[in-house]
Amino acid sequence: MVHSRIVGIFLLVATLFAHGCAVELISEQSVENKLAKVQLGVTTKAEIENLFGNEHGAENLRWVYNLSDTALEISGEKTGMVRGFSIPVAMTPTKTRALITVRFTESGTVNGLEVKRFFDLPYTNDYWYLIKGGTENILESVARAGETSNFRVVGFDKSAGRFALEDLSKARITVTLEKQTLHITSTNPHDQVTNEYRVFTKRESAFIDKISALTAETIVSPPAAPQQASPPVMERQ
């Protein structure tokens, strides 16, 4: 019996490898292709589930997706059949590649999108928020939030709707305001094992928490008119 089980496991693993199923990798391009279909103020909850799935947590207005590479694991979760053998197998997460947070209005349309990537250097994160009504002082408020998160404001140009935040490292955050869409891009060129990476990430997280709280007070709910901005087209800074 033990011998048969060992043979069964061997045959199952061999079959999965032969069909390329032993490891499943999340490609950066596949993530970008899905993000490109999201429109602030337009995309609905049903459309988000069609893109990313229904495993997003129980919160009503904030869904989180962890897109990870997976690998074969012999376990008791699922059962695979190979030549008459019943073998417990499962594909388990091995490495997070993208962490996506989608925020919704009460009416169920997307008004915020936060994307953290863990592919190759430099690590680039993007954040989009749909702003309600007047945006006259939004850039100044965002700049103050950056300063209180220990960043230096550079190149502030209100007429062009943009500025940047810098710290002592080579990492950088750019802020742009186009019509009703606030777009923040964070570029971290440091390896994940370095102290520079951890320090910048901590400051970035503190900054984004403040922006999330700020925009929660001004976000469209529901939007007066759907915005046709195309936030999820990513460009390296």
pLDDT digits (tens, 9 = 90+) for 206-227: 999 999 999 887 644 333 343 4
Local confidence band at 10 (pLDDT 50, 70, 90 cut-offs): low
Res 5: pLDDT: 52
pLDDT at 77 over 60: no
Local confidence band at 97 (pLDDT 50, 70, 90 cut-offs): very high
Name, in order, each residue with C-beta under 8 angstroms of 60's C-beta and a sequence gap of 6 or more: 104
Q: Does 46 map to a domain?
A: yes
pLDDT at 19 over 60: no
Res 158: pLDDT: 96
Q: Does 229 map to a domain?
A: no
Q: What is the largest CA-CA distance in the chain?
A: 76
Mean pLDDT, range 37-49, rounded to an integer: 97
Res 120: pLDDT: 92
pLDDT at 234 over 50: no
Q: Does 74 map to a domain?
A: no
Q: Does 7 map to a domain?
A: no
Mean pLDDT, range 16-27, rounded to an integer: 69
Res 14: pLDDT: 52
Q: Does 86 map to a domain?
A: no
Mean pLDDT, range 66-79, rounded to an integer: 75
Tens-place pLDDT, residues 105-158? 999 999 999 999 999 999 999 999 999 877 889 999 999 999 999 999 999 999
Range of the structural domain that residue 44 is part of: 28-67+96-216
Q: Does 210 map to a domain?
A: yes
Q: How many domains does the chain have?
A: 1
Show the tokens assigned to 17.
Answer: 């490898």
Res 229: pLDDT: 43
Tens-place pLDDT, residues 152-197? 999 999 999 999 999 988 999 999 999 999 999 999 999 999 999 9
Higher-pLDDT residue of 217, 49: 49
Q: Does 107 map to a domain?
A: yes
Res 4: pLDDT: 52
Res 135: pLDDT: 87
Work out the mean pLDDT of the chain and round it to a whole number: 83
Higher-pLDDT residue of 229, 3: 3
Q: Does 131 map to a domain?
A: yes
> Whole-model pTM?
0.78
CA distance 126 to 130: 14
Which phi and psi (to 5°) does residue 176 adopt? Answer: -135, 145
C-alpha angle 42-43-47 in degrees, rounded to nearest 5: 155
